[in-house]
Amino acid sequence: MDRFKELDKMIKLTGDRARLDAKANDTYIVYKTAEGQIVKEYNNGNIVPVGNSSESHA
């Protein structure tokens, strides 16, 4: 179980670092929400959905 806790911590830290980098470079981050929607999150807190995330590009 410790591996899962460590992995969860690393994922969180990676997301935090991405937010810091986006703020420093005045840009945004892109991620998938718990509901499965892909969104862009800007420094000012605005969250904008990206296209139709139910489509497959495979």
Q: Is residue 22 part of a domain?
A: yes
Backbone angles phi, psi at 29, to 5 degrees: -115, 155
Provide the domain count of the chain. 1
Q: Is residue 58 part of a domain?
A: no
Residue type, 42: Y
Whether pTM exceeds 0.85: no
Is the separation of the CB atoms in 40 and 50 below 8 Å? Answer: yes
Q: Is residue 13 part of a domain?
A: yes
pLDDT higher than threshold 60 for residue 17: yes
Instruction: Please say whether the dihedral angle defined by the alpha carbons of residues 12, 30, 43 and 33, taken in this order, is positive or negative.
Output: negative
Q: Is residue 31 part of a domain?
A: yes
User: Which residues are bridge partners to 39 per DSSP?
Assistant: 31, 49
Q: Is residue 42 part of a domain?
A: yes
pLDDT one-digit tens code per residue, 20-40: 999 999 999 999 999 999 999
Q: Is residue 7 part of a domain?
A: yes
What domain range includes position 16?
2-49
Radius of gyration of the chain (CA): 14
